[in-house]
Amino acid sequence: MSINFPPQDYLNATTHYGDPKTGCESDEIQVQIQGVQGDFCTPPCSLLKPCPSDVPSGVTAKPMCALQSTSGGKYCALICSPGNDAQCGTNASCKAISGVGICTYDD
């Protein structure tokens, strides 16, 4: 899996895992996963640094340390059930990848 890191905008983010169009938190990066439509904001994670649990309003998908970049960095993602877009909140949908789902914004 390849993760792209587009240019950053830090605007009015109030929770983690938001829509990059409205800005990411200061500890997040904007992520696009190769082969998956959409993008999202996400913080780094590790065994000693779990994923933050503050999700946007209406989101029921669970934050998990589920992504790894080609350089070895680990990042959080909102894990959902493919096809159940309601778990991802406003303007986002659940995209199937490697047998699980990840919430991304479709702007």
> Which residue in 31, 39, 35, 13 sits closest to 91, CA to CA?
39
DSSP 83: T
Percent of the chain at pLDDT > 70 equals 87
Average pLDDT score, the chain? 89
pLDDT by residue (tens digit) across 23-74?
Answer: 999 999 999 998 999 999 999 999 999 999 999 999 999 999 999 999 999 9
Residue 6 has pLDDT above 80, yes or no: no
CB 84 within 8 A of CB 12: no
Residue 98, CA distances (Å) to 24, 67, 79, 95 in order: 26, 11, 12, 10
What is the residue extent of each domain of the chain?
A: 3-105
Per-residue pLDDT band at 10 (split at 50, 70, 90): very low
